[in-house]
Structure 1
Amino acid sequence: MESGVSGGISVDVIVVGGGVIGLTTAVVLAERGARVRVWTREPVELTTSAVAGALWWPYRIEPEPLVGEWALQSLVVYEELAARPEETGVRMVDGVQGETRLDELGSWAARVPGLREARAEEFAGGGLWARLPLIDMSVHLPWLRNRFVELGGTVEEASVVDLSEVPASVVVNCTGLDSLDLVPDRSVRPVRGQLVVVENPGITTWLTSVDHSADTSTYFFPQPGGLILGGTAEENAWSMTPDPATAEAIIARCAAFRPEIAEARVLEHRVGLRPTRPAVRLEREVLRGGRALVHNYGHGGAGITVAWGCAREAADLVGARAA
């Protein structure tokens, strides 16, 4: 059992939301014996999760003490899935978190295997060297869906306007940014990320150089379909249209680290809106008639990083209702 979960849940559940949080939560619930359906407004290949880079690392997500544990649980699962990269989309890849020091991170960092200070020849500006999961979402999301279906679950395209009207004993809200209106939760906001995908000129390691107080960052991730370049972190920006000037600036920042990127052919432009709030919301509330609504949203830029840990906690909340 790849998620490492145990315990039985005998209850009908509808998970609303077909991104990485919704699908992972559905898999964990199905593995625990729940009868689960996923309702998604659009195919999983068109969700926000499909745009992600996607490197395992706690980025723009709170609260840090809980995030560290969720992330470490997820790391163990991804390390197992990396044994079958063609099937799962997960690979373990070396790289550098630039301008980052161990003493700046939470206690979780001490439990990341092999995380160490980067040597000068690895990154002149100082940083951390690590071998971390790098996830090809074009493969991983369909794998999650297939895994869920193999467990007896069903994925249905459906739009929801009122979570309390969803016909299930337990409803799990994994709607991300849509929780702004569906809950409604006015603390939810978008943080816009723009990416450029180029032909990989032979780069095999990833790199990040992120100023968490700025609305731009620099990173590149070698994926099977090309080298993904980033990025931006624009608060409360809703535009899904790639900006040409922003794309040029992304390429220039990445090329400052690896000059060969400047000549790489552009394959694609991507934009995604990170579903951010002051802290992840993972809690259960009671609906009319004693039914339960479990919330699992607000993961910002680290939904992939914490997906399995949060899914287990959400399943625990479902199980508490079902017991």
Structure 2
Amino acid sequence: MANDVLVLGAGVIGLTTAVCLAEDGHRVRVWAELPPERTTSAVASGLWGPGYTPRDLAWSRVTFSEFSRLADDPESGIHFERGLQVSNFSSEPPPWIDDLLDVEMVAPDKLPDGMLVGLWSTAPLIDLPRYLRYLTGRLAANGIEIEQRTVRSLDEAAAAAPVVVNCTGVAAGKLASDDGVQPVRGQHVIVRNPGISHFYVEAVPQPEFAGFFPHGDRLILAGVRQPGQWSLTPDPEVATQILRRCIAVEPKLADAEVIGHEVGLRPGRTQARLDEHPLGPTRIIHNYGHDGLGVSLSWGSAREVARILAD
């Protein structure tokens, strides 16, 4: 049975959820304070990775399957690349290693300084600006336009539709009165790609790390995790340190032309929230708090919302 559904938010979680529901036959509207190109999703590095918990791992597998299919469409912005992931957490391979493709372990004497384990694998990389346009196009094909609108309360949304899906990211902390949500600030340096085709990322407990992610002529350099910080202004010192760490890993970057700086606020939470509760006669479904795994969990959590409505 089709429902009238109002989706709040136009980042990757909101757009993916809206696409899933619209293509399942629901009558969908989307309200968003910011257009897709101004959301945190638009400045994400775009590397898919397995989820850490059983639920998130299942969601990431659903997303991987969808990305594998969509990679055949050049308009999607999804491309598979080989890359190196390293960590100083443990010298043992990660428990999710079987979810990676074409894995090749790195010999200990070939690891970057301070790293205990490393592996090469092939994974989806998502060019987020292009991908968000692709999702917006799929909505448009279903006659759905994103309405730019600031929602002050869930009561306001509940008055507009019998089903509301809250995909507002870090803004959900205030909207849903959820003290468990906090911003986790990230910052990237964008350089003109000097010819790097592989990705690199460090999984470390420290708030600073090195990572780079190729998207054609554009290379995204990372990164930082700064919990509790709301500033969207690029910090020049942070940018300098990102460049320093990335150049230490890949000397080719020393002469790369810097073409931009980007900042985003990950919706930090102990775990992503996906549940339902009534608000008067309206069904409220929450789908937020994916932290840095929004892209990786997007299709899995969206399909879960669709399952809830199908039930």
Length-normalised TM-score, structure 2? 0.93
Q: Identify if the C-alpha distance between structure 1 residues 159 and 259 changes in structure 2 by more than 3 Å, giving closer, same or farther.
A: same
Counterpart position of 2:144: 153
* 1:276 alignment partner AA: G
8 Å contact from structure 2 (residues 100, 122) kept in 1:
no
Residue 68 in structure 1 maps to residue 57 in structure 2: yes
8 Å contact from structure 1 (residues 196, 270) kept in 2:
yes
Deviation at 1:209, TM superposition (A): 1.5
Per-residue Cα deviation, 1:70-128 (whole angstroms, up to 9, x for no partner): 0011001111111123x00000000011127795534x432333234235797555412
SS in 1 for 2:57: helix
SS in 1 for 2:269: strand
Q: What is the aligned length?
A: 305
Counterpart position of 1:203: 196
Q: Identify if the C-alpha distance between structure 1 residues 152 and 298 changes in structure 2 by more than 3 Å, giving closer, same or farther.
A: same
Which is worse superposed, 91-100 or 68-77?
Answer: 91-100
Counterpart position of 1:3: none
Which one of 307, 314, 319 corresponds to residue 310 of structure 2?
Answer: 319
SS in 2 for 1:114: strand
Length-normalised TM-score, structure 1? 0.90
Write out the 4+ residue segments of structure 1 that deviate beyond 2 Å after TM superposition. Answer: 99-106, 111-116, 118-126, 151-154
SS in 2 for 1:184: coil
Measured in 1, the distance between the counterparts of 2:172 and 2:149 equals: 16
SS in 2 for 1:159: coil
Which one of 239, 245, 249 corresponds to residue 247 of structure 1?
Answer: 239
Q: Identify if the C-alpha distance between structure 1 residues 307 and 91 changes in structure 2 by more than 3 Å, giving closer, same or farther.
A: same
Measured in 2, the distance between the counterparts of 1:102 and 1:96 equals: 15
Counterpart position of 1:138: 129
Which one of 213, 234, 238 corresponds to residue 230 of structure 2?
Answer: 238
Per-residue Cα deviation, 1:15-47 (whole angstroms, up to 9, x for no partner): 000000000000110111100011111211111
Measured in 1, the distance between the counterparts of 2:71 and 2:60 equals: 16
Residue 169 in structure 1 maps to residue 162 in structure 2: yes
Which one of 87, 100, 119 corresponds to residue 112 of structure 1?
Answer: 100
Counterpart position of 1:88: 76
Per-residue Cα deviation, 1:142-189 (whole angstroms, up to 9, x for no partner): 100101221233321111011122111100000011111101111100
8 Å contact from structure 2 (residues 9, 167) kept in 1:
yes
Measured in 2, the distance between the counterparts of 1:73 and 1:122 equals: 33
Measured in 2, the distance between the counterparts of 1:92 and 1:102 equals: 27
Which one of 185, 192, 209 corresponds to residue 192 of structure 1?
Answer: 185
Measured in 1, the distance between the counterparts of 2:120 and 2:91 equals: 10
Gaps of 5+ in 2: none
Measured in 2, the distance between the counterparts of 1:139 and 1:121 equals: 39
Deviation at 1:210, TM superposition (A): 2.6
Measured in 1, the distance between the counterparts of 2:65 and 2:120 equals: 19
Residue 276 in structure 1 maps to residue 268 in structure 2: yes
8 Å contact from structure 1 (residues 15, 22) kept in 2:
yes
Measured in 2, the distance between the counterparts of 1:269 and 1:122 equals: 31
SS in 1 for 2:59: helix
Measured in 1, the distance between the counterparts of 2:110 and 2:216 equals: 23
Counterpart position of 1:217: 209
Counterpart position of 1:294: 285
Counterpart position of 1:40: 32
* 1:224 alignment partner AA: G
Residue 308 in structure 1 maps to residue 308 in structure 2: no
Deviation at 1:245, TM superposition (A): 1.0
8 Å contact from structure 1 (residues 35, 153) kept in 2:
no
8 Å contact from structure 2 (residues 154, 175) kept in 1:
yes
